[in-house]
């Protein structure tokens, strides 16, 4: 009878799977002595350090909070970080796909121009004294102008040649741009100030999401959907699609 055990007078002992090992061991020992006194073999459940039902309840509690052995909070945090990084890569690959579809040239300088855009915004913020939104509006124009110069002076001469020539040219330009910026600024990122409206973070329960990171995801969706709409739903897009086919 468990009521005779001094440990059983503690409230909630059997219902709480967090009971310490000494309590569980005393209950098992008491049950084992009763089995021996009655001439029965000690049960396997009593011989174990921790009762099986308690392990099941503990395991059931872990199933709710774990996915494939990974805590839910850590898993959701990693998925959200992957979504943020994927937003950067989506904007990066979008221009590469459009250029290849229109010009039939694998533009390896696209990543270097992406880097140039980041440095252009940094210059405007740190040295020109412009605000975040002005830098965000001017930077695409500057990077687009560099792309026009490269296309008019170099790539236009390779349209009738094999694609390998354009690939080698753009790859060489990418190495030149990357080497120049790495030589002057190093390989580490440059700090910049954020606008006040992007300060702070959202409490998602499982992690704190900075507002600026949330803005990156929203901006990426806007750019990707706008590009799709222009190409698929407008007259200009029909011209672009016709140029890619013929």
User: Contact at 8 Å (CB) between 77 and 140?
Assistant: no
Task: Specify the long-range contacts of residues 92-96, CB closer than 8 Å, at least 24 apart.
Answer: 94/223, 94/224, 94/227
- Return the pLDDT at 55: 41
Distance CA 34, CA 21 (A): 20
Could you tell me what percent of the chain has a pLDDT over 90?
Answer: 24
pLDDT band at 57 (very low <50, low <70, confident <90, very high): very low
pLDDT one-digit tens code per residue, 134-176: 999 999 999 999 999 998 999 888 888 888 888 899 999 999 9
Task: Go through 13-43 and write b for each residue having 16 or more CB atoms within 10 A of its CB, e for each that does not.
Answer: beeebebeeebbeebbebbbeeeeeeeeeee
Residue 209's beta-bridge partner residues?
Answer: 202
User: CA separation (Å) from 243 to 44, 67, 99, 167?
Assistant: 78, 49, 12, 21
pLDDT band at 41 (very low <50, low <70, confident <90, very high): low
Mean pLDDT of 91-96: 83
Burial class for 107, CB neighbours closer than 10 Å (0-12, 13-18, 19+): buried
- Whether the pLDDT of residue 109 is over 60: the answer is yes
User: Contact at 8 Å (CB) between 241 and 231?
Assistant: yes
- Whether the pLDDT of residue 28 is over 60: the answer is no
Mean pLDDT of 226-236: 90
Mean pLDDT of 20-38: 50
Distance CA 203, CA 201 (A): 6
Distance CA 36, CA 150 (A): 91
User: Whole-model pTM?
Assistant: 0.64
């Amino acid at each position: 009878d468990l009521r005779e055990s001094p440990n059983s007078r503690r409230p909630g002992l059997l219902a709480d799977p967090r009971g310490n090992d000494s309590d569980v061991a005393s209950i098992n020992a008491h049950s084992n002595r009763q089995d021996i006194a009655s001439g029965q073999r000690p049960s396997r459940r009593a011989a174990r350090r921790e009762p099986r039902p308690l392990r099941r309840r503990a395991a059931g509690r872990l199933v709710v909070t774990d996915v494939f052995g990974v805590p839910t909070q850590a898993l959701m945090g990693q998925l959200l970080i992957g979504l943020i990084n994927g937003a950067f890569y989506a904007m990066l690959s979008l221009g590469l796909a459009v250029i290849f579809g229109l010009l039939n040239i694998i533009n390896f300088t696209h990543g270097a121009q992406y880097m140039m855009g980041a440095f252009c915004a940094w210059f405007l913020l740190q040295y020109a004294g412009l605000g975040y939104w002005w830098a965000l509006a001017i930077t695409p124009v500057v990077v687009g102008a560099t792309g026009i110069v490269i296309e008019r002076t170099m790539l236009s001469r390779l349209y009738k040649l094999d694609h390998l020539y354009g690939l080698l040219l753009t790859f060489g330009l990418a190495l030149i741009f990357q080497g120049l910026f790495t030589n002057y600024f190093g390989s580490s990122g440059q700090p910049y100030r954020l606008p006040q409206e992007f300060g702070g973070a959202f409490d998602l329960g499982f992690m704190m999401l900075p507002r600026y990171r949330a803005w990156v995801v929203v901006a990426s969706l806007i750019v990707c959907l706008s590009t799709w709409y222009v190409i698929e739903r407008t007259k200009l897009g029909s011209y672009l699609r016709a140029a890619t086919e013929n």
